[in-house]
Structure 1
Amino acid sequence: MPSVITGSGARRAAAGAAVRRATARDAKRLTGLVRNSRAYQGQYAAMVAGYTVGPDYIESHRVFLAADGGTDAVLGFYALIVEPPELDLMFVSDAAQGRGIGRLLAGHMTAEARAAGLDSVRVVSHPPAEGFYRSVGARRVGTVPANPPAVLWDRPELVFPIGGAFDPAGSPAA
């Protein structure tokens, strides 16, 4: 059953968004979100050119999406790999940017990781997304060097600590 987020503060922006497990039927919509992301235009376009979020990927990983409760439009999604623990993908649609969907997904991912018994989750970030990940509790631990021809730039490496409570409004709880 999807979790519907309501409430106050940062959560209010995501009110009406339901997070649910993605299915193979969602593959085309998730692929479209990745390929059409403004965050991957210009110098970063090569990273997602031809990228596919296929049905097999969705079936074999913990892929969750946030959908508009009224229209079922995909607002964003993430993919959590449990072994080794890594946030493999996280995208928010351009139209949903600034509405709290990324925070909603980060909080959901953290809860999923905790339920899976993980101590931490690694993320190799798209450089412009580092600030977002840090704002939702990830800590920078290093840099992953460029790997031409696929990736032509260094990327921040961050870790989400999972052990304690997580405050989806922005930072790990004390």
Structure 2
Amino acid sequence: MSETRGQRRWEEQRRCHYVDVRIQGGLVAALVLFEAVVLGAAMLVLYYNLDQVIEEQLYRIHITPRDGMPVLVSELFALVPYIIFANVAVVLCIDWAWSRYVNRIIEPLKERLRSAGSLDLRAMPAGNIRHEVLDKADAWVQEESRRYRKLQRLAAGLSAEMDSADALAKIEQMRRLLPPPG
């Protein structure tokens, strides 16, 4: 059974790693640190609230003691909305920062691809952000420009008066410079 083109493309896509350690590593470290701070603050608030409940219950002699677990659970549930709010706020900030970073890479890439699509293979000016994707796109455009110039030189060298063997050799050289079909 032969592979379809879609299956081959899926296999190629699975080998792509969409990881940018420069920013994602920092985001993960910041998120772990933030979670530690939030949980530490929640534990402190819980400690002070439970300390206050214990102080209130300590000197009540003639009242039957209440079970401590409902107090603990109610205090925990009182803290949960604040923890959720803090986490949602951080996730929104991270999403904003990440999408801004990605867009700063995608916009110059779109410009390079638009230029290449209109066969404008001149080098693009370097922007204020450097990234591996943009470097690869620039290298690809430069390689395509070199290939195009070679094809132009070979095509200019063809003439009707040429020997057929020379013409076939030039055409074969041109064919090797063209991308494979499909």
Q: Same fold (TM over 0.5)?
A: no
Higher normalized helix content (fraction of residues): 2
Higher relative contact order (CA 8 A, sep 6+): 1
Higher-Rg structure is 2
- TM-score (structure 1 length as normaliser): 0.19
- TM-score (structure 2 length as normaliser): 0.18
